[in-house]
């Protein structure tokens, strides 16, 4: 099935994104400065939002739709820790058949809606041998493995109204928010399961082979997933402040003869298991943020 109901789209004009941003803003009372993208099974982050205004993706002309279990496909506007926010309950992935530009269209739309800070969350496999299922990893950096294979949303003509042709990507994940998150997590008693590490992204939809997991260990990844990096590239390109959390939903299989296998059900179950802690941590961080 063609996910978006039209052919795969590899580029959007500034005006396309502006039209979508205006359409969305015209339907809601709040005009937030912070957006949160919810990863697989992490849509419950929206439970803590008050005074909700909800727009299903299917009601937004030109917006992609979600096709993956655990991604509801709604924009949720409202108040969280006293601040105006918008959550994406469901993101888009290249493995669904979307181009990198389609998966990141919401980030440009957010920018044009006035969003200055982006929180990205994801479900990820633990690559670091010291990690456990249920750990929450503050993302300190990423490895864009899909980018090594040419999949990058910034490929194509550059519109300087968004940002420069060659954006820097060191310091992609805001240091102050990372420090804040780590110290709040410790204060909240999350010290045993809070981590800080490097997220790597492949395209998926298959989980990694054993040799791929060993490779990711060698190149310095602590966790691996199928999303987030394209969103962060686009957010940094247009000058947003970015913070990211990975929930370690499973530990990758790095033994050739292991009998267990990775599966999406375990990913969703771990999301459910840790959802309250994630909600509390995100709410505490937002409460302390200057937006």
Which residues are at the interface with ligand LQZ7MJT6 (CB under 6 A)? 39-40, 68, 91, 93, 122-123, 204, 225-228, 264, 267
CA distances from 125 to 45, 139, 143, 145 (A): 20, 13, 14, 15
Q: Which stretch binds ligand GUN (CB under 6 A): 2-10, 12-20, 168-176, 223-231?
A: 223-231
Contacts of 202 (CB under 8 A, 6+ apart): 145, 146, 208, 212, 224, 225, 226
Site for ligand GUN contains 131 (CB under 6 A): no
- Residue 265's alpha-carbon distances to 70, 82, 233, in angstroms, are 10, 34, 29
Measured between alpha carbons, how far is 93 from 231 in angstroms, rounded to an integer?
Answer: 10
Q: Among ligand LQZ7MJT6, ligand GUN, none, what binds residue 174 when CB lies within 5 to 8 Å by partner kind?
A: none
**Contact window for ligand GUN (CB under 6 A) among 76-84, 164-172, 244-252, 281-289:** 244-252
Of 40, 66, 122, 246, which one is the catalytic site residue?
40
Q: d(Cα 102, Cα 182) in Å, to the nearest integer?
A: 32
Nearer residue to ligand LQZ7MJT6 within complex by CB, 68 or 289:
68
Told to check if 120 binds ligand GUN by CB under 6 A, we report no
- Does 19 bind ligand GUN (CB under 6 A)? Our answer is no
Which residues fall in the annotated binding site for phosphate? 40, 71, 91-93, 123, 227
Q: What is the dihedral of CA 19, 20, 24, 27, to 10 degrees?
A: 50
CA dist 85 and 81 (Å) reads 10
136 CB-near residues (< 8 Å, 6+ apart) = 185, 190, 193, 194, 195, 245, 246, 247, 248, 274, 277, 278, 281
Radius of gyration of the chain (CA): 18
Q: Give the shortest CB-36-to-ligand LQZ7MJT6 separation in angstroms.
A: 13
Catalytic choice (57, 71, 122, 266):
71
> Under rule CB under 6 A, how many of the chain's residues touch ligand GUN?
15
227 carries an active-site annotation: yes
Residue closer to ligand GUN by CB (options 97, 204) is: 204
Residue closer to ligand LQZ7MJT6 by CB (options 231, 254) is 231
For residue 114 the two structure tokens come to 């006035």
| Contact status: 250 vs ligand GUN (CB under 6 A) | yes
Q: What minimum distance in Å lies between the beta carbon of 19 and ligand LQZ7MJT6? A: 26
Question: How far are the Cα atoms of 79, 190, 213 from residue 227, in angstroms, in the given order?
Answer: 26, 25, 17
**Please, which residue, 63 or 92, has the CB nearer to ligand GUN?**
92
Min dist. Cβ of residue 191 to ligand GUN (A)? 23
Identity of the residue, 116 or 264, whose beta carbon is nearer to ligand LQZ7MJT6 in the bound complex: 264
**Reduced to 3 states, what is the DSSP secondary structure of residue 212?**
helix
Determine, following the binding rule CB under 6 A, whether residue 17 of this chain makes contact with ligand GUN: no
β pairing state of 34-38 and 83-89: parallel
Residues that bind ligand GUN (CB under 6 A): 123-125, 202, 204, 207-208, 224-226, 249-250, 252, 262, 267
Q: Which residues are catalytic?
A: 40, 71, 93, 95-96, 123, 226-227, 250, 264
């Amino acid at each position: 099935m063609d996910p978006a109901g039209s052919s795969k789209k590899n580029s959007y004009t500034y005006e396309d994104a502006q039209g979508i941003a205006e359409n969305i803003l015209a339907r809601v009372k709040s005009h937030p400065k912070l957006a949160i993208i919810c990863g697989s099974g992490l849509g419950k982050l929206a439970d803590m939002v008050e005074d909700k205004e909800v727009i299903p993706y299917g009601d937004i002309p030109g917006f992609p739709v979600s096709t993956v279990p655990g991604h509801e496909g709604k924009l949720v506007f409202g108040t969280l820790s006293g601040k105006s926010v918008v959550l994406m309950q469901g993101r888009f992935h290249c493995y669904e058949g979307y181009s990198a530009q389609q998966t990141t269209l919401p980030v440009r739309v957010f920018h044009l809606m006035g969003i200055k800070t982006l929180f990205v969350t994801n479900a990820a496999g633990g690559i670091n041998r010291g990690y456990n299922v249920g750990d929450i990893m503050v993302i300190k950096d990423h490895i864009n493995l899909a980018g090594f294979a040419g999949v990058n949303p910034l490929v194509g003509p550059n519109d300087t109204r968004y940002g420069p042709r060659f954006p820097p990507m060191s310091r992609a994940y805001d240091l102050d928010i990372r420090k804040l998150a780590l110290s709040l997590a410790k204060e909240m008693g999350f010290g045993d399961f809070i981590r800080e590490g490097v997220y790597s992204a492949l395209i998926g939809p298959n989980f990694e082979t054993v040799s791929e997991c060993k490779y990711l260990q060698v190149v310095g990844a602590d966790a691996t997933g199928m999303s987030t990096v394209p969103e962060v590239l686009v957010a940094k390109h247009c000058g947003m402040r970015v913070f990211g959390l990975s929930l370690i939903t499973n530990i990758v299989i790095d033994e050739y003869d292991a009998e267990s296998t990775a599966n999406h059900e375990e990913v969703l179950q771990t999301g459910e298991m840790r959802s309250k802690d994630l909600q509390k941590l995100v709410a505490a961080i937002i409460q302390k943020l200057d937006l």
